[in-house]
Amino acid sequence: MKDKLLNRFLRYIAIDTQSDPNSETIPSVATQLVFAQQLVKELKGIGIEEVSLDRYGYVMAKIPANTKKKVPAIGFIAHIDTSPSMDGECVNPKLIENYDGKSIVINSDRNIVLDTKIFPELLSYKGQTLIHTDGTTLLGADDKAGIAEIMTAMEYILQHPEIEHGLICIAFTPDEEIGTGIDNFDVQKFGADYAYTIDGGGVGELEYENFNAAVVDIDIQGLDIHPGTAKGKMINSQLIAMEIENLLPPRQKPEYTDGYEGFFLLTHLNGSIEHTRMQYIIRDHDREKFEEKKQLLFSVIDKLNEKYGQHLITYTSRDQYYNMREKVEEVKFIVTVAEQAMKEAGIMPVIIPIRGGTDGSRLSFMGLPCPNIFTGGHNFHGKYEYVVLESMEKAVNTIINILKRYGENE
């Protein structure tokens, strides 16, 4: 299994599938379709007959039930694209077998080091096999590790018909990293009653809570007057932007928060005296606190408009996604099944809230409850990314055990 996992993963990350937030196409880059076509061929190659690829780049496949028991249809989902945060072309992975537990020099020329003091979780993987970047690109474990794990688990299930299971539904989706990966996902076509995204981090991670999320775009109109005659006339839109930031709670920023603590984050600021644009994202696990944060920002804007005696500041607000816990709590047994499956694979489940979003969140609100399971990767989206091969193997075993548990119960 390790060899198959490794070979699949290395083949997958050789294809640059970075999503493009500025693209107007679906999927955002053509290489995602190229990779999707390869996955279709591979799914058929391992013996799955019902496989499809649509124009949006969604790969879907189904393995029929092999039992007469009343077993729910279970889905597994991973995304095809990698993050646009760092170069994903010409990935040159490095393999460390029997890792010695010391800091790893990723790139000596650029002095890039996976330092155990900064990344202490490395110490948990002594004696195991690590795959890391060469420091010039991301690795792509997010989420090509998940794809490799699903593919390997499905191959195992097909080769072991003695394992009773219901309908198994598989999906590989585009553009998760730019937040549009579920825009055209057909839940009814997918066919699952419940699903799991295989898109988490270190071994044992099991997540069914995520942020509620909103984005607020702010437009500030100033008045640019020659500084020599500006007294009582000039309105510097950049300074108003600074006022907005300074009127928000200073400790409610990502660099000061963790766990269930939410935040405001100024993501973009671009302006001049005459005109400034800024963008915030707002995050909180608690829906009430989330709404309060939005209202606080809106009230700051209203206060400043009142201060300047004119409507200088306008804004638009858009909710992006909500905490999947609202939907998963209604069928909490799907989390329990995953916990049990992990324990049977020799893993202690680590149930933590996602300090971000996931396709599973949107899917849960589309009628498909969808917790998130680890892939074995760490430090996604950057040059320090790595994945542990033994953790990938445990993810495969977890998927298989989930199917076993559903198949054993009626």
Alpha carbon distances (Å) from 328 to 227, 333, 335, 346, 379: 58, 9, 8, 25, 27
Q: Who's near 166: CB < 8 A, 6+ residues apart?
A: 65, 67, 69, 71, 72, 73, 74, 406, 407
What number of other Cβ atoms are within 10 A of residue 297's Cβ?
Answer: 20
Residue ranges of domains in the chain, CATH in brackets: 2-209+323-408 (3.40.630.10), 213-321 (3.30.70.360)
DSSP state letter for 355: S
In the chain, DSSP finds a helix count (H) and a strand count (E) of 10, 18
CB 298 within 8 A of CB 317: yes
- Collapse the DSSP code of 250 into the 3-class scheme (helix H, G, I; strand E, B; otherwise coil) and give the result: coil
CB 241 within 8 A of CB 269: yes
The amino acid at residue 281 is I
Q: For the chain, what is the mean pLDDT?
A: 96
In this prediction, residues 109-118 reach a mean pLDDT of 95
In this prediction, residues 369-396 reach a mean pLDDT of 97
Smallest CA-to-CA distance from 82 within 130, 145, 169 is with 145
Smallest CA-to-CA distance from 63 within 39, 47, 79, 52 is with 47
In this prediction, residues 367-396 reach a mean pLDDT of 97
Convert the pLDDT of each residue in 324-347 to its tens digit.
999 999 999 999 999 999 999 999
Convert the pLDDT of each residue in 237-253 to its tens digit.
999 999 999 999 999 99
Say which of 175, 176, 209, 284 is annotated catalytic: 176
Question: What tokens does 182 get?
Answer: 């579920």
pLDDT at 409: 75
User: Which DSSP helix (H) or strand (E) runs through 141?
Assistant: helix 141-159
pTM of the model: 0.90
In this prediction, residues 84-90 reach a mean pLDDT of 90
Say which of 16, 81, 385, 393 is annotated catalytic: 81
Convert the pLDDT of each residue in 160-195 to its tens digit.
999 999 999 999 999 999 988 899 999 999 999 999
pLDDT at 410: 59
pLDDT at 356: 86
The yes-or-no answer on residue 81 being catalytic is yes
pLDDT at 114: 96
Convert the pLDDT of each residue in 212-234 to its tens digit.
999 999 999 999 999 999 999 99
The amino acid at residue 39 is L
User: Phi first, then psi: what are they for 119, rounded to 5°?
Assistant: -120, 70
DSSP-assigned beta bridge partners for residue 273:
none
CB 378 within 8 A of CB 202: yes
Convert the pLDDT of each residue in 195-213 to its tens digit.
999 999 999 999 999 999 9
Give the pLDDT band (50/70/90) at residue 111.
very high
Smallest CA-to-CA distance from 91 within 131, 34, 134, 30 is with 134
The yes-or-no answer on residue 176 being catalytic is yes
Distance, CA of 181 to chain centre: 10
